[in-house]
């Protein structure tokens, strides 16, 4: 009873010591603190009663219930001790407590054993945790946990037959006491007093020698708790703490999480509607985030239709205008401003077409929107390809253009704005393209449209072709190339092309006897646009080479006594060749009438000599040369000059023999 009286006295002193603070509490807060203190008193009284019962228990009573298993734990255990035999003994003690340590087995100390130790610590929290200010188990088998388990299952000291009989019957309770150095001691016979703690030099107290509990455990609405300090160990001096002190805490009120509302009010002219909270959850809660207003669209029964005059001139830094509601709603909702500040500055106006300062180029049927803004202006007027008064700022969509001509239409839109300080004008131009034109395209070889044949350059079995194709187009949006002929000559040509460009060609073309004696390749390009498409083709011929042509002619009479000239032509031909030989005027390369001597195919390779006789009347006196022509599948009407011989002269009077 002395312990109880002393405890009650201490607690009453605590209550009266905070009476100054209590004066500021409400009656409900005072009653809450009193109830909490009374609960603490009951817990302490129960603990004192248990200790008194242990103290009054005689050794014979302590042995009244013999144990079927005992083990004294002398070391702390944790994960690092997994595999120790002490872990197996710990599993046995936990099993007797009805606590599972699965999935650990044998001497394993892992998560299963740690969880089981936490359960044991919380089961005996008053002996294991509370002295350390803890409420939850740690899972580590430390000093307090080991002392409690030794109290329950520790083995008593056994004496031999020669010892005193009284000592053989003494079994002390297995509770433990922590020494200042952190170690623990148990009771020992014959008097069952605690064994003495290890002797040590008193240490100076530090923060580590003080622990505290707070009362009540949760912060009350007063926002204050009592911190009760307890010194551990046998330190002296140094850091000291009061027996108790009042500290501030953060009271967490019961915050509302859900709400019930009234119906939304009608939408006001300000575009807001409201409602009120009719109840909230949980009961008695405060705060939270109720939604009591929201935006809405105000729809009046009558919608004003405002029409306003132009702004007046700027007078004394202000200008005015009048606005009339043509629906006569009798309200000022959405009424434009009737007065605004102004300055005596010169007007400024800017007009654009499709947000462009122009000129804006568009096609037929395109949409165009004019927009303009002004400053320091009271009125504006349109002129040019539009007319009439306009607001000082605005926009206007134009009718879609239809230009049937072949030239560009130039449309001009001017706006002039007037203010008290002058006049400003701005113009934007819109160019309307004519209807789409039919595309054109032109392809050339070596920058020429002439069909210049490519002659074999050496006595080899192939042509080495090098030339440049170029093309240009108009009114087109895309071009595509194609062709016909040997694939090697078309390599890299076919496909999409730029609207204007060029391409260098370089390839070898075989001239074996198994192919035609001449070759040609057609290069074609087609360009398309809104107005249709166009195609152009150029053909390139390749001919074998005629080598070292030489001619000599002289005047004579034939066997009929006619004036003639005799000519001898020598040349070398590489490969077969369709040939036509003509006499040409050396000055203008014109073919002389009746001068054809040979038309056919020279089918063999090597040096050749052709002799021919021509009437002298068919050829006036002059200087001439022999032309070697090749003809294609189109026959003699499409002759192509391959090469020419040396010059020679013909006199009008034949030589006499």
The model's pLDDT over 23-78, given as tens digits with 9 standing for 90+, comes to 445 665 666 567 566 656 655 665 555 455 444 443 333 333 445 789 999 999 98
| Measured distance CA(185)–CA(194) in Å, rounded | 6
Name residues whose C-beta falls within 8 Å of residue 293's C-beta, 6 or more positions apart in sequence.
272, 273, 274, 275
pLDDT per residue as tens digits for the range 377-432: 889 999 998 999 999 999 998 877 776 666 778 889 999 999 878 889 999 998 88
Cα R_g (the chain), whole angstroms:
61
- Fold for the domain defined by 546-650: Immunoglobulin-like (2.60.40)
The Cβ of residue 253 has, within 10 Å, a number of other Cβ atoms equal to 10
Q: Per-residue pLDDT tens for 208-231?
A: 788 888 888 778 878 888 988 888
> Residue 468 contacts by C-beta under 8 Å, 6 or more apart in sequence?
445, 446, 447, 502, 503, 504, 505
Between 426 and 521, the more confident residue is 426
Instruction: Tell the residue number behind the tokens 């922590």, with chain if given.
Output: 178
Q: Is the model's pLDDT at 526 over the cut of 80?
A: yes
CATH C-level class of 440-543? mainly beta
pLDDT of residue 639: 66
**Whether the predicted pLDDT of 191 surpasses 90:** no
Task: Decide whether 440-543 matches 546-650 in CATH topology.
Answer: yes
Structural domain spans, the chain: 2-56+207-248, 59-200, 258-295, 310-430, 440-543, 546-650
Give the model's pLDDT for residue 377. 86
CB contact set of 106 (below 8 Å; sequence gap of 6+): 88, 91
* Long-range CB pairs of 585-590, under 8 A, 24+ apart, other chains included: 585/622, 585/623, 585/624, 586/622, 586/623, 586/624, 586/625, 586/647, 587/623, 589/627, 589/641, 589/644
Topology of domain 310-430, CATH: Immunoglobulin-like (2.60.40)
Res 350: pLDDT = 94
148 pLDDT band, cuts 50/70/90, is very high
Query: DSSP label at 494?
Result: S
Arithmetic mean of pLDDT over the chain: 75
Q: Which residue has the higher pLDDT, 531 or 538?
A: 538
Choice among 94-103, 140-149, 264-273, 344-353 with the minimum mean pLDDT: 264-273
């Amino acid at each position: 009873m002395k312990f109880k009286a002393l405890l009650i006295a201490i607690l009453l002193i605590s209550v009266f010591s905070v009476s100054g603070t209590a004066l500021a509490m409400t009656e409900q807060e005072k009653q809450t603190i009193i109830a909490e203190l009374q609960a603490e008193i009951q817990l302490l009284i129960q603990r004192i009663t248990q200790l008194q019962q242990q103290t009054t228990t005689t050794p014979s009573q302590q042995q009244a219930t013999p144990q079927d298993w005992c083990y004294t734990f002398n070391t702390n255990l944790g994960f690092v001790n997994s595999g120790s035999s002490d872990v197996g003994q710990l599993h046995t003690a936990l099993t007797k407590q009805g606590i599972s340590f699965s999935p650990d087995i044998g001497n394993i100390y892992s998560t299963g054993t740690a969880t089981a130790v936490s359960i044991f610590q919380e089961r005996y929290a008053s002996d294991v945790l509370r002295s350390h200010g803890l409420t939850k188990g740690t899972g580590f088998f430390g000093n307090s946990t080991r002392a409690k388990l030794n109290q329950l299952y520790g083995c008593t000291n056994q004496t031999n037959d020669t010892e005193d009989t009284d000592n053989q019957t003494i079994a002390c309770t297995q509770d433990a006491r922590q020494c200042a150095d952190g170690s623990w001691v148990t009771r020992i016979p014959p008097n069952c007093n605690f064994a003495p703690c290890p002797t040590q030099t008193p240490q100076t107290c530090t923060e580590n020698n003080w622990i505290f509990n707070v009362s009540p455990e949760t912060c009350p609405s007063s926002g204050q708790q009592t911190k009760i300090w307890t010194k551990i160990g046998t330190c002296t001096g140094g850091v000291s703490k009061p027996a108790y002190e009042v500290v501030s805490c953060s009271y967490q009120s019961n915050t509302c999480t859900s709400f019930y509302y009234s119906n939304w009010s009608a939408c006001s002219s300000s575009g807001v509607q409201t409602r009120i909270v009719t109840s909230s959850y949980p009961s008695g809660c405060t705060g939270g985030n109720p939604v009591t207003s929201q935006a809405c669209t105000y729809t009046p029964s009558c919608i004003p239709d405002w029409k306003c005059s132009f702004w007046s001139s700027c007078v004394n830094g202000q200008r005015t205008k009048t606005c009339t509601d043509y629906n006569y709603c009798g309200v000022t909702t959405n009424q434009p401003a009737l007065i605004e500040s102004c300055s005596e500055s010169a007007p400024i106006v800017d007009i654009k077409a499709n947000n462009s300062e122009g000129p804006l180029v568009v096609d037929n049927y395109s949409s165009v929107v004019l927009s303009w803004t002004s400053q320091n202006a009271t009125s504006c007027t349109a002129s040019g390809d539009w007319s009439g008064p306009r607001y000082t700022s605005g926009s206007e969509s134009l009718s879609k253009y239809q230009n049937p001509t072949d030239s560009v239409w130039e449309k001009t839109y001017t706006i002039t704005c007037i203010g008290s300080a002058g006049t400003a004008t701005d113009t934007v131009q819109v160019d309307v393209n004519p209807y789409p034109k039919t595309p054109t395209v032109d392809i050339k070889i070596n920058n020429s449209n002439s069909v210049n044949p490519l002659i074999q350059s050496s006595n080899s079995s192939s042509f080495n072709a090098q030339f440049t194709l170029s093309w240009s187009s108009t009114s087109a949006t895309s071009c595509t190339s194609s062709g016909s002929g040997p694939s090697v000559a078309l390599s890299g040509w076919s496909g999409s092309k730029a609207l204007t460009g060029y391409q260098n060609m370089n390839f070898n073309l075989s001239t074996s006897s198994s192919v035609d004696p001449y070759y040609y390749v057609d290069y074609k390009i087609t360009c398309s646009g809104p107005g249709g498409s166009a195609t152009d083709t150029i053909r390139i011929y390749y001919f074998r080479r005629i080598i070292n042509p030489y001619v000599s002619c002289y005047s004579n009479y034939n066997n009929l006594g006619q004036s003639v000239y005799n000519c001898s032509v020598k040349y070398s031909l590489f490969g077969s060749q369709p040939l036509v030989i003509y006499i040409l005027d050396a000055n203008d390369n014109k073919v002389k009438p009746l001068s054809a001597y040979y038309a056919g195919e020279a089918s063999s390779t090597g040096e050749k000599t052709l002799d021919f006789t021509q009437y002298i009347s068919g050829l006036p006196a002059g200087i001439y040369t022999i032309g070697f022509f090749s003809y294609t599948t189109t026959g003699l009407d499409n002759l192509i000059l391959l090469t020419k011989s040396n010059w020679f002269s013909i006199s009008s009077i034949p030589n006499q023999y």
